[in-house]
Amino acid sequence: MSATAPTAFNARPSGRASAFWQRLRSGDDIAYVITLTCALTILALAALLVFELYMNSALPREKFGWSFLKGTTWDPVAGQYGALPFIYGTVVTSALALLIGIPLGVGAAIFLAELAPAKVSNGLTFLIELLAAVPSVIFGLLGIFVLVPALVALEPAIRAVLGWTPLFSGPFYGVSMFSAGVVLAVMIIPFIISISREVILAVPTEQREGALALGATRWETTWDVVLPFAKKGIMGSIFLALARSLGETMAVTMVIGNEAKIHQSLFAPGYSIAAVIANNFSEASDALERGTYIELGLVLFGLTIIINGLARVLVLTTTKKGAS
């Protein structure tokens, strides 16, 4: 057998040694091993991450157990570690972000998928996806110097409309859970739009045509036929956006006020899990305190895993390509 002739995949050469050598030279096994190693490295990294988070948070987990998540006072100097204010802030700001982002996002997705001509739709979607590429710290920059002063100016108007609820009571200093929620909404809208648009586009035209043939208006077709069909995918996009907003660090810490207390009003300052880790981790003075921030990281990790998992399942079953 010539040394330079390409070996067919299933060739069976004579001696076992030369067979092995030939297969090695053909590179298939090497390629397989190398790429497999890389795939295994990814698994190893994920396992390492979970392992490190779990092990390094052992101290506070053993000491506080579940009361860590239920306590409301965070006072490292006194040794009191109650993480509820951070969980509260994270949940509230993300909920507000979704409340603002879902109508705007799904609305824009409907426009782009149903109403806009293809070229316009592609062009505008391209621009909106650029919004998704803007780094978080830039949203924070604009948050401090543009959004917060704007909200301070708008405060009387907001209070006039919504001031009757305890959600918008109390003094407003600009930096607040409300501001953080608005910034997060701006950051997650591109994700909702991009995925929802794809999902809506994937709805078979027969469904639309059927509804229109029965006399429905464009809107009624969209609302009563298309959206229910695309429901799972849109839900998936919402979960994805939620997962992203839970982990968002920089933009939130720059506008949320960084106060570790639970307030009823959205106008009040608050704190989120990611923000407190970013602010305090490097000054944790002992292993216990450092462990508490790692435990917070574990909590955040767990939350995003669950929500991302739900998102993937929902989106994969409604679009042909998985979402990015």
Partner 1 sequence: MTRRLFIVNAALVAALTLGAASAQQVLINAGGATFPYPMYSKWFDEYHKKFSNIAINYASIGSGGGIAQVTAGTVDFGASDGPMNDTQIKEFQDKRGSAILHFPTVLGADVPTYNIPGVTAQLNFTGEALAGIFLGKITKWDDPAIAKANAGVKLPSNNIVVVHRSDNSGTTYIWTDYLSKVSKDWATKPGRGTSVDWPVGLGGKGNEGVSGSIQQTANSIGYVELIYAIQNKMTYGKVQNAAGEFVLASLAGVTAAAAGMKEMPEDFRVSITNAPGKGVYPISSFTWLLIPSKIADPTKKKAIKDFLVWMLADGQKMTEALSYAPLPKAVVAKELKAIDKIQ
Partner 2 sequence: MLSLRRKAVNAVMLSLTGVCTFLAVGTLLFILGYLFFHGGTSLTWDFFTKLPTPVGEPGGGMANALLGSAKLLLLASCIGIPIGFLGGVYLAEFGGSSFSFIVRYVTDLLNGVPSIVIGILAYTLIVLPQGHYSTFAGGMALGVMMIPIAVRSSEDFLKAVPVSLREGAMALGASRAKTIFTVVIPAAKAGLITGIMLNIARVAGETAPLIFTAFGNRYWSPGWDQPTASLPVMIYTYAISPYADWKQQAWSAGFVLLMLVLMINVFARMILSKRGQAAR
* Among partner 1, partner 2, none, partner that 32 touches (CB below 5 to 8 angstroms by kind): partner 2
2, 10, 14, 282: which one contacts partner 1 (CB under 8 A)? 282
Q: How far apart are CA 282 and CA 49, in angstroms?
A: 19
288: contact with partner 2 by CB under 8 A: no
Helix (H) or strand (E) holding 81: strand 80-81
Q: How far apart are CA 179 and CA 256, in angstroms?
A: 7
> What string marks each residue from 219 to 258 as x (binds partner 1 by CB under 8 A) or -?
--------------------------------------xx
Question: Which residue intervals of the chain are DSSP H helices?
Answer: 16-26, 28-56, 58-64, 67-70, 84-110, 118-133, 136-142, 148-162, 177-201, 205-213, 218-221, 227-247, 250-255, 273-280, 287-316
Place of tokens 């407190």: 276
284: contact with partner 1 by CB under 8 A: yes
175: contact with partner 1 by CB under 8 A: yes
> What string marks each residue from 148 to 167 as x (binds partner 1 by CB under 8 A) or -?
xx------------------
If we measure between CA atoms, which residue out of 85, 55, 91 comes closest to residue 69? 85
52: contact with partner 2 by CB under 8 A: yes
269: contact with partner 1 by CB under 8 A: yes
Count of residues that interact with partner 1, criterion CB under 8 A: 26
Q: How far apart are CA 114 and CA 23, in angstroms?
A: 55
**Residue 18 is encoded by which pair of tokens?**
């030369």
Quick one: 73 or 317, whose CB is closer to partner 1? 73
* Among partner 2, partner 1, none, partner that 285 touches (CB below 5 to 8 angstroms by kind): partner 1
142: contact with partner 1 by CB under 8 A: no
First to last CA, the chain: 48
Within 51-80, the residues that bind partner 1 by CB under 8 A are: 73, 75-78, 80
Crossing angle, helix 273-280 and helix 227-247, to 10 degrees? 20
State the nearest-atom distance from the C-beta of 264 to partner 2, in Å. Answer: 27
State the nearest-atom distance from the C-beta of 291 to partner 1, in Å. Answer: 13
* Among partner 1, partner 2, none, partner that 18 touches (CB below 5 to 8 angstroms by kind): none
* Among partner 2, partner 1, none, partner that 229 touches (CB below 5 to 8 angstroms by kind): none
103: contact with partner 2 by CB under 8 A: yes
For 184, residues 6+ apart whose C-beta sits below 8 A from its C-beta are 93, 94, 96, 97, 101, 245, 248, 251, 252
> What string marks each residue from 139 to 158 as x (binds partner 2 by CB under 8 A) or -?
-xxx-xxx------------
Quick one: 224 or 286, whose CB is closer to partner 1? 286
Phi, psi for residue 6 in degrees, rounded to 5: -65, 140
- Chain residues binding partner 1 by CB under 8 A are 73, 75-78, 80, 144, 148-149, 171, 173-175, 257-260, 269, 271, 279-280, 282-286
